Homo-oligomer: A and B are copies of this chain.
Amino acid sequence: MKSGIDQVTLEHRSTCPIARSLDLMGDKWTLLIMRDALFLKGRTFADFASGRERIPTNLLSGRLRKLVGMGLLEKVPYQQRPLRYEYRPTDLGKALKPVLRAMKSYGEQHLGGHTKY
């Protein structure tokens, strides 16, 4: 299909800023994609798909669509012939860094995760 309507409408359960944030990124993949986009720089679909956690391609394409629709990533062509795109974090996306840093810190200190993003 060409692609459905790209209205990325987020439910919002309450006016609480934490709840709003969770409505946007409260799942197991969204922040992992942003981690790669923010710390591993401009990434292509294949790059995201081959990350260590192996996100299924159908979930990846859906999440990317949502993130672009919400303005956290932008899809920009980086070469012609063949045309290729990469997903780059916008300023709105970069604003997520403190959240990711807090989670990284929590994981390192309390969950036994090694460093390296």
Contacts and interface: CB of A to CB of B under 8 A. Distances in A.
Chain A contact residues: helix, strand, loop or mixed: helix
Nearest to A35: B18
B53 A17 contact: no
A108 B28 contact: no
B99 A16 contact: no
Contact of A22 (B15, B17, B19, B31): B31
Q: How large is the interface on A (under 10, 10 to 19, 20 to 34, 35 or more residues)?
A: 35 or more
Interface string A86-117: 00000010011011111111111111111111
A23 interface: yes
A14 interface: yes
B95 A18 contact: no
B16 A52 contact: yes
Given A26-B31, A28-B27, A21 B107 contact: yes
Interface of A: 13-24, 26-29, 31-32, 35, 52-54, 92, 95-96, 98-117
